[in-house]
Amino acid sequence: MPAARLGRAAREAVSGLPREFWWLWTSTLVNRLGGFVATFMALYLTLARGYSASYAGLVAALLGLGGVVSALLGGVMADRIGRRPTLLVAQSATAASVALLGFMTDPVAIAGVAFLVGMASNASRPAVQAMMADIVRPEDRVRAFSLNYWAINLGFAVSAAGAGFIAEFSYLAGFLIEAGMTAVCALVVFLKVPESRPTAPVHKDEPQVSLSTVLRDGRYMAVVGLSFLVALIFQQGSVALPVAMGRAGFTPADYGLAIAVNGVLIVALQIPVTRFIEHRDPRTLLVVSSVLAGYGFGLTAFAGSVGVFMATVCVWTLAEIVNAPTQTGLVVRLSPVHGRGRYQGMYTLSWSVAALVAPLMSGQVIDRFGATWLWGTCAVLGMVAGLGYALLLRGPGVGRGADSPVVATGETAPEPTPAM
**Mean pLDDT of the 195-200 span:** 80
Does a structural domain hold residue 320? yes
Question: Which residues does residue 412 pair with via DSSP β-bridges, in sequence order?
Answer: 406
CA–CA dist 371, 365 (Å, integer): 7
Q: Which of 165, 199, 233 is the last residue of a domain?
A: 199
Q: Which of 199, 226, 243 is the last residue of a domain?
A: 199
Residue 406: phi and psi, rounded to 5, are -115, 130
**Domain shared by 297 and 195, yes or no:** no
Does a structural domain hold residue 204? no
CA–CA dist 213, 217 (Å, integer): 6
**Domain shared by 190 and 225, yes or no:** no
| Under 8 Å between Cβ of 404 and 320 | no
- pLDDT at 1 exceeding the cut of 70: no
Task: Express each pLDDT in 256-288 by its tens digit.
Answer: 788 888 888 988 888 888 888 878 899 999 999
Tell me the torsion sign for CA atoms 405, 411, 414, 416: negative
Q: What is the pLDDT of residue 396?
A: 58
**Domain shared by 182 and 245, yes or no:** no
**Domain shared by 194 and 328, yes or no:** no
**Mean pLDDT of the 352-361 span:** 85
Number of domains in the chain: 2
**Domain shared by 33 and 88, yes or no:** yes
Does a structural domain hold residue 403? no
Does a structural domain hold residue 13? no
**Domain shared by 239 and 161, yes or no:** no
Does a structural domain hold residue 4? no
Does a structural domain hold residue 245? yes
Question: Which comes out higher in pLDDT, residue 43 or 367?
Answer: 367
CATH number at residue 127: 1.20.1250.20
**Domain shared by 233 and 174, yes or no:** no
Does a structural domain hold residue 413? no
**Domain shared by 297 and 315, yes or no:** yes
**Domain shared by 26 and 115, yes or no:** yes
- pLDDT at 34 exceeding the cut of 60: yes
**Domain shared by 161 and 246, yes or no:** no
Task: Express each pLDDT in 69-80 by its tens digit.
Answer: 888 899 999 988
Q: Which of 199, 221, 247 is the last residue of a domain?
A: 199
| Under 8 Å between Cβ of 407 and 413 | yes
Round the average pLDDT of the chain to a whole number and report it: 84
Question: Which comes out higher in pLDDT, residue 299 or 156?
Answer: 299
**Domain shared by 133 and 239, yes or no:** no
SS3 for the chain is: CHHHHHHHHHHHHHCCCCHHHHHHHHHHHHHHHCCCHHHHHHHHHHHHCCCCHHHHHHHHHHHHHHHHHHHHHHHHHHHHCCHHHHHHHHHHHHHHHHHHHHHCCCHHHHHHHHHHHHHHHHHHHHHHHHHHHHHCCHHHHHHHHHHHHHHHHHHHHHHHHHHHHHHHHCHHHHHHHHHHHHHHHHHHHHHHCCCCCCCCCCCCCCCCCCHHHHHHCHHHHHHHHHHHHHHHHHHHHHHCHHHHHHHCCCCHHHHHHHHHHHHHHHHHHHHHHHHHHCCCCHHHHHHHHHHHHHHHHHHHHHCCCHHHHHHHHHHHHHHHHHHHHHHHHHHHHCCCHHHHHHHHHHHHHHHHHHHHHHHHHHHHHHHHCCHHHHHHHHHHHHHHHHHHHHHHCCCCCCCCCCCCCECCCCCECCCCCCCC
Which residues have C-beta within 8 Å of that of residue 179, sequence separation ≥ 6?
A: 94, 95, 96, 98, 99, 102
| Band (142; pLDDT cuts 50, 70, 90) | confident
CA–CA dist 330, 96 (Å, integer): 34
Structural domain range at position 294? 209-395
Amino acid at 372: T
CA–CA dist 396, 220 (Å, integer): 14
CA–CA dist 25, 11 (Å, integer): 16
**Domain shared by 373 and 353, yes or no:** yes
Does a structural domain hold residue 5? no
Q: What is the pLDDT of residue 309?
A: 92
CA–CA dist 38, 152 (Å, integer): 14
> Among 191-195, 222-226, 303-307, 405-409, which is the least confidently predicted range?
405-409
> Among 98-112, 129-143, 158-172, which is the least confidently predicted range?
158-172
Task: Express each pLDDT in 94-134 by its tens digit.
Answer: 999 999 999 999 999 999 999 999 899 889 989 998 999 89
